[in-house]
Amino acid sequence: MEQKRSGFSGKLGFVLAAAGSAVGLGNIWRFPYLAAQYGGGVFLLCYIILAVTFGFALMVGEIALGRKTQLSAVSAFSTLNKKYSFLGYLAAIVPMIILPYYSVIGGWVTKYLAAFCTGNVAQAAQDGYFSNFIAQPGEATLFFAIFMGLTALIVLFGVEKGIEKVSKFMMPVLVVLSVGVAIYSVCLPGALEGAKYYIMPDFKNFSFTTVIAAMGQLFYSMSLAMGIMITYGSYMKKNVNIESATRQISLFDTGIAFFAGLMIVPAVFAFSGGDKSALGQGPGLMFVTLPKVFNSMPGGGIIGTVFFVLVLLAALTSSISLMETVVSIFIDKFKWNRKITCLLVFGGCVAVGLVSVLGYGPWAEVKIIGMQMLDFFDFISNSVIMPVVALLTCIFIGYVVKPATIIEEVEQDGAKFKSKKLFVVMIKYVSPVCILLILISSVLNAFGIIKI
Ligand code: PHE
């Protein structure tokens, strides 16, 4: 059945919706724990440098590919060059891996929101609350299914109505609230030391893993290397300026990640009495730390509730974009009906997501290359497939369709591509070499062949 491609109404709509995809758990949940773990200020600095150079180049490239072809990832690559259709499929695998485990974390957020709504702030702030919760598969599955179901429902309503409306109303509020909570966190007794650790780069903390982690996070956070921006680009009108839209999206995305880190990292210092080992907690960091911040705050119950509502919305706009990508791939490819496709994708995700839920509970013993299931899915997508897709996308743009194709698309409707030179140098030379180095070392490291 033929489906008409719906579109975003204008620049603001596009920027907000794409920023809605980019800003999500990656910024609020993943960025702070990585920054805490990988050297604070050094990680932040690496991340920002990567974001303004190749994050920028890759995003411009992907959006332009989508807008030029008016197709989602799989078909976009094959239309431009038959030999590269595999790249579209490879990119398409990433959201399929991420969506299920992303929704598991979305379920954790839903659970905390429920706890805050019902006034259980003090309990949620206790040590052990988080670990007890994830150890029980029943509750974790229930909340995961709720989150997944919400995502599926919104995707059913289509691009304009669903995504655009939610994003427009949510993003500004999230910015204001994050800044407010960050200021409060930094003012907690003992937090200043943490703020220093988070902001001032100390090169003693630098290691190769810092760069690897920062790069994986960049792809994840900006929704790159998985066909998402290609799909979004395909919905974008020709008169919208791709370059400035990209700048605004990265500014939004990096800004929110920065403030999320500032809400969480200093608070970790404050509540652990400066014990640095608390920084290495990994995925649980936000869930363990933030309730303590809210619990210590006058009116923290209400502020915390509002905060978790916003995180939930931010997570939803991202999971929607993940699901929208998966669904539109099936629709474009097989011409399936939207409703049925949504239902099938929902079912598949629930099945796969269960593996991640159980991996933190009864299956905690089952490990793949030393990782729990959820961490393994995260590793495979962020540290393996995404760098491969990013590398091939650079080669595709730099040497197959040639940067001129992208430049022409960016300069549609009289727009001027200001960072044209930076774009070409990044796409053709710098990014491919860096990604290759990082990819090889991260895989060797995971298998214990080298230690970095
Ligand atoms: N980029 C979003 C975030 O930072 C999440 C996301 C990840 C969306 C992967 C799409 C793909 O949370």
Q: Which of 185, 195, 198 is nearest to 38 (CA)?
A: 198
Domain membership flag for residue 452: no
| Contact assessment for residue 218 and residue 34, using Cβ atoms and an 8 Å cutoff | no
What CATH number corresponds to the domain at position 168? 1.20.1740.10
As beta bridge partners, residue 368 has 371
Average pLDDT for the chain: 89
223 lines ligand 1 (CB under 6 A): yes
Whether residue 220 has its Cβ less than 6 Å from ligand 1: yes
Between CA 116 and CA 307 the distance in angstroms is: 10
pLDDT band, residue 167 (cuts 50/70/90): low
Report the number of distinct structural domains present in the chain: 1
Residue 184 lies in a domain: yes
Q: Is residue 356 part of a domain?
A: yes
Domain assignment present for 117: yes
Q: Tell me the best of 101, 105, 221 to mutate to test the pocket of ligand 1, counting ligand atoms within 8 Å of each CB and taking the most.
A: 221
Residue 429 lies in a domain: yes
242, pLDDT greater than 90? yes
User: Is the CB of residue 299 less than 8 Å from the CB of residue 83?
Assistant: no
Find out whether the beta carbon of 151 lies less than 6 Å from any atom of ligand 1: no
Distance 340 CA to ligand 1 centre (A): 24
Alpha-carbon distance of 219 to 448, in angstroms, equals 24
Q: What is the pLDDT of residue 162?
A: 55
Question: Alpha-carbon distance 105 to 314, whole Å?
Answer: 12
Once rounded to an integer, what is the mean pLDDT over residues 378-384? 86
Ligand 1: atom nearest CA of 318 is 8
Per-residue pLDDT tens over the stretch 122-157: 999 999 999 999 998 999 999 999 999 999 988 887
Residue 159 pLDDT more than 50? yes
**Predicted local confidence at residue 1, as pLDDT:** 35
The backbone torsions φ and ψ at residue 281, rounded to the nearest 5 degrees and listed phi first, read -70, -20
| Mean pLDDT, residues 198-227 | 90
Segments forming the whole domain that contains residue 202 = 2-446
* Beta-bridge mates of residue 206: none
Q: Specify the pTM.
A: 0.91
Mean pLDDT value across residues 359-371: 82
The answer to whether position 381 is within a domain reads yes
* 402 has pLDDT over 90: yes
Joined together, the tokens standing for residue 159 give 């691009």
Residue 451 lies in a domain: no
Residue 227 C-alpha to ligand 1 middle, in angstroms?
A: 12
Residue 289 alpha carbon to ligand 1 centre in Å: 22
